Amino acid sequence: MSEHTALEQSILGEIAAAPDEAALEAVRVGALGKKGSVSALLATLGRMAPDERKTAGAAINALKDRVAEALAARRDVLKAAALEARLSAEKLDITLPLRAGPTETGRIHPISQVMDELIAIFADLGFSVAEGPDIETDDYNFTKLNFPEGHPAREMHDTFFFAPGADAKRKLLRTHTSPVQVRTMLAQKPPIRVICPGRTYRVDSDQTHTPQFHQVEGLVIDRTAHMGHLKWVLEEFCKAFFEVKTVKMRFRPSFFPFTEPSMEVDIQCRRQGGEIRFGEGEDWLEILGCGMVHPNVLRNVGLDPDVYQGFAWGMGIDRIAMLKYGMPDLRPFFEADVRWLSHYGFRPLDFPTLAGGLSS
Ligand code: DAH
């Protein structure tokens, strides 16, 4: 065996035995690199006589080509094997169930759900949503709503007052959403049709009262709005909200400083065990206060009561949520207990619509 053949076989043997691409690269450098064995053979050509160089040159170059070819072939094999190994190591079973994401596990609080339901119902009746601040002035919360200074109705509101400001006036946490009526009438010309959902505050705490709670106010002002419209709007609302075909309502005379006449509204229901069913039964349940907007309130916001008239109502959102969804205690609403929320909460992508069903 010539010296060349022995070298070639030894290199080809190393190539065949290289276990991975790094080892193969080491073989390539050892043979074809600057200081490699094949390069050393080529370097001997310079010292040969021209004739000898011709034959030896051809033989060494052919050897070099065969080595290069063997390297390339082995590299392809190793590359394919490495890819195969990686593909099987990184295998992913896409038939495994996904871990539930936030849209699956998160829940919408019943208060937010009921607000969305209210907005869906009243938007369908042509109402828009108005908002006001939680921290109110005495003027908007009481005076402009026709609560005269020193009137006992102010005391009934158990108000949280702030310390007097530089102007000696005390701000307060709004005790009802009615000041948003005032803000809306000051900002907008009639016709007005708004609902005002939001947070309200009173110094009160037991199973059905929390210091912070929620109300929704409704207000309609135009030239002709009358009590027949008020009753119809409330009846349509109750049917849609409680998802029943008919409801019987009872309007009882009452008193609010900002409406005249004023009424409290009861709806017919049946109490069975701990459950309440609407649209049937012999019992009555109070759900809201309402009335025709008092002429003094219209005057206080610069509207002429001989031209404009309208009606308003106010309702506890927490209360109607408890009634609709059978929650006996109000306090857990504010406790942020995920167990309660996952029981009573709503799926985030099931947004309430009248067409799709409010609560289904
Ligand atoms: N603001 C009243 C309350 O908190 C509720 C209310 C009653 C609002 C009659 C109204 C209304 O707009 O007309 O008790």
Contact present, 31 and 85 (Cβ < 8 Å): no
Distances from the Cα of 51 to the Cαs of 46, 69, 113, in angstroms?
12, 27, 98
Distances from the Cα of 61 to the Cαs of 1, 3, 5, 8, in angstroms?
18, 15, 13, 12
Our answer on whether the CB atom of 312 is closer than 6 Å to any ligand 1 atom is yes
Q: Tell me the CB-side half-sphere exposure of residue 178, using CA atoms within 13 A.
A: 28
**Type of residue at 342:** S
Instruction: For domain 104-344, give the CATH number.
Output: 3.30.930.10
pTM of the model: 0.73
Q: What's residue 331's pLDDT?
A: 86
**Type of residue at 67:** V
Q: What's residue 1's pLDDT?
A: 54
User: pLDDT (tens digit, 9 = 90+) per residue, 184-222?
Assistant: 999 999 999 999 999 999 998 877 788 999 999 999 999
- Name the nearest CA neighbour of 218 among 340, 129, 91: 129
Q: What's residue 97's pLDDT?
A: 85
As a whole-number percent, the residues of the chain with pLDDT over 90 amount to 67
In a 3-state reduction of DSSP, which class is residue 346? strand
Q: Which atom of ligand 1 is nearest to the CA of 177?
A: 1
Centre of ligand 1 to C-alpha 256, Å, is: 7
Q: What CA–CA distance (Å, rounded) separates 15 from 28?
A: 8
Residue of 217, 286, 311 with the most ligand 1 atoms within 8 Å of its CB, for mutation = 217
- Per domain, the residue ranges of the chain are 3-90, 104-344
User: pLDDT (tens digit, 9 = 90+) per residue, 307-342?
Assistant: 999 999 999 999 899 888 888 788 899 999 999 999
Centre of ligand 1 to C-alpha 274, Å, is: 28
User: pLDDT (tens digit, 9 = 90+) per residue, 55-103?
Assistant: 888 999 999 999 999 999 999 999 999 999 999 899 888 898 888 888 7
Residue of 176, 204, 264 with the most ligand 1 atoms within 8 Å of its CB, for mutation = 176
Our answer on whether the CB atom of 63 is closer than 6 Å to any ligand 1 atom is no
